[in-house]
Structure 1
Amino acid sequence: MRDAGLDRAIDAAGGVAQLARKIGIAQPSVSNWNRVPVGRVIAVETATGVPRQQLRPDLYAESAVPDNIIDIIDPVDAARAREYELLAVLLSSPPSNALLGEIAHLRGDTTPLGRAHAALAEAASEVVTTGVEREYFDLFVGLGRGELLPYASYYLTGFLNERPLSRLRDDLAARGIERVENNFEPEDHAGTLCEIMAGFASGRFPASEASQRAFFEKHIVSWMGRMFADMERATSAKFYKSVGTLGQVFMKIETESFTFAN
């Protein structure tokens, strides 16, 4: 039986098929959901307008993530959370037309991150939804496999579902972060890891700065920058070329920040 949050999303999208199309996945996948998987919450929220607190109140309860979160947590952490959330949704599914419109209004500045934001905004203003859906398919899905495999196990061992995934699952279990039911994507997917880091930064998943640094150094820093570099150079990448640039810049900032803090 579907939960209330998923029912709201399906109604807002105009049906299961429309919801699947809007977030760029196959209709049978959505049909098999009992609730919105954690890795799809932001994409579904963006596509349907149903707030994440209604989609998954167990993860985004008002008491856990207040609307005035920016006033409660450090502004730098709030900015980090937003950056990770943006990367998470772009890695988890092709952006909807509404999200592309929001990205097109990003403002840049003269910093490396500001220039990356400006380039992403320009790319979003030029692409059409059907084009970026095809691009996402070619990059991450493909006929057999996509041009990129955005998993820690693959980048660190050359194979999927290897020891890096096992170590990650052990760490997530120790932190009380559970894999959502009916989400068949391995937890070492780059989008899932960015969503977890967003949770740390926002305070949704309690973690000290030292704990965040340990998680980042163990599960992210050794490979995700390389993945974003590969994305920037990928033959299929047009809009996602700018996503690759943003990811590289942000990973460098995170690495330097944790290093200096240490």
Structure 2
Amino acid sequence: MRDDGLERAIGAAGGIAQLARKIGISQPSISNWTRVPAQRVIAVETATGVPRNDLRPDLYEQATPAELVDPVDAARAQEYALLATLLSAPPSKRLLDRLAALAGDATPLGRAHAALADAAASAVAAQVERQYFDLFVGLGRGELLPYASYYLTGFLNERPLSRLRADLTRLGIERIANNSEPEDHAAILCETMSGLADGSFNASPEAQHAFFEKHVSPWMGRLFADMESAGNVHFYRAVGAVGRTFIEIETEAFTFAN
């Protein structure tokens, strides 16, 4: 039996098939859900407009109130959430319109945001969907495999994934039932970092730093750099520039804090 949050999301999307398409997973996967899995909350919130605390009140009702979150951490959480959304599924026309309104500034990340806004403004949703397919899915496999195990070992489902699963369990984040997507996908890791940054997950700053150093820093910058140099994917080259620049900033900030 589905809980109220999942029912609201399905209704807002226009049905199970539409929700599956919006967040880039198979319809049978959603049919087997009884509630929105923790790893998919931000993607479902973005796709449907149903707030995360309604989708999973057990995870988000007790989250740190927004007014108590450091503004820098709140901005970090938003950046990670944006990357998680763009890596998990191709953006809708509505999201492209929102991205086109991003404001830039003279900082490296501000310039990357401005370039992403320009790419979104000239993008056609159907073409971006094709870019996503070619880059991450493909016929057999995409141009890039956005998984920690692959980048760190050259193979999928290796020890980096098992270590990640142990750490996610300690954070209280469960695996999605009947879903074959490994948890070391870049979108899931960005979503986890977003929850750590804004206090949604109960973890100390030291635990957040350790998670970043262990599961994000060793490889994700390379993934984004590879996206920047990929061919025929203009929109995702701009996403790669944002991601690479942000991971560089995060790495420097954690080093300074340490």
User: What TM-score does the superposition give when structure 1 sets the normalisation length?
Assistant: 0.93
Q: For residues 173 and 40 of structure 1, do their structure 2 counterparts lie closer, same or farther at Cα, with a shift above 3 Å needed?
A: closer
Q: Does 1:169 align with 2:162?
A: no
Q: Counterpart of 2:43 in structure 1: which amino acid? A: A
Residue ranges of structure 1 left out of the alignment (5+ in a row): none
- Counterpart residue number, 1:60: 60
Q: Residues 227-246 of structure 1 correspond to what in structure 2 (within 5 A)?
A: 227-246=223-242
Moved more, 197-206 or 51-60: 51-60
Contact (CA 8 Å) 2:165, 2:183: kept in 1 or not? yes
- Per-residue deviation, residues 137-163 of structure 1 (Å, max 9, x unmatched): 111111111111111000000000001
Mapped to 2, the partners of 1:93 and 1:114 lie a distance apart of 24
Q: For residues 21 and 178 of structure 1, do their structure 2 counterparts lie closer, same or farther at Cα, with a shift above 3 Å needed?
A: closer
Moved more, 141-150 or 41-50: 41-50
Q: Does 1:260 align with 2:235?
A: no
- Counterpart residue number, 2:211: 215
Contact (CA 8 Å) 1:65, 1:203: kept in 2 or not? yes
Moved more, 100-109 or 49-58: 49-58
- Per-residue deviation, residues 198-254 of structure 1 (Å, max 9, x unmatched): 111101112222222111111111110000011111124221111100000000000
User: What TM-score does the superposition give when structure 2 sets the normalisation length?
Assistant: 0.94
Mapped to 1, the partners of 2:181 and 2:106 lie a distance apart of 37
2:57 aligns to what SS in structure 1?
A: coil
- Counterpart residue number, 1:157: 153
Q: Does 1:144 align with 2:140?
A: yes
Mapped to 2, the partners of 1:145 and 1:209 lie a distance apart of 37
Moved more, 194-203 or 21-30: 21-30
- Per-residue deviation, residues 40-69 of structure 1 (Å, max 9, x unmatched): 2222222222222222222222x3254xx1
User: Aligned residues: percent identity?
Assistant: 71
- Counterpart residue number, 1:80: 76
Contact (CA 8 Å) 1:32, 1:182: kept in 2 or not? yes
Q: For residues 177 and 14 of structure 1, do their structure 2 counterparts lie closer, same or farther at Cα, with a shift above 3 Å needed?
A: closer
- How far residue 36 of structure 1 moved from its aligned partner, in angstroms, is 2.1
- Per-residue deviation, residues 56-95 of structure 1 (Å, max 9, x unmatched): 222222x3254xx1x2111111111011110111111111
Q: CA RMSD in A?
A: 1.6
Q: Counterpart of 2:252 in structure 1: which amino acid? A: E
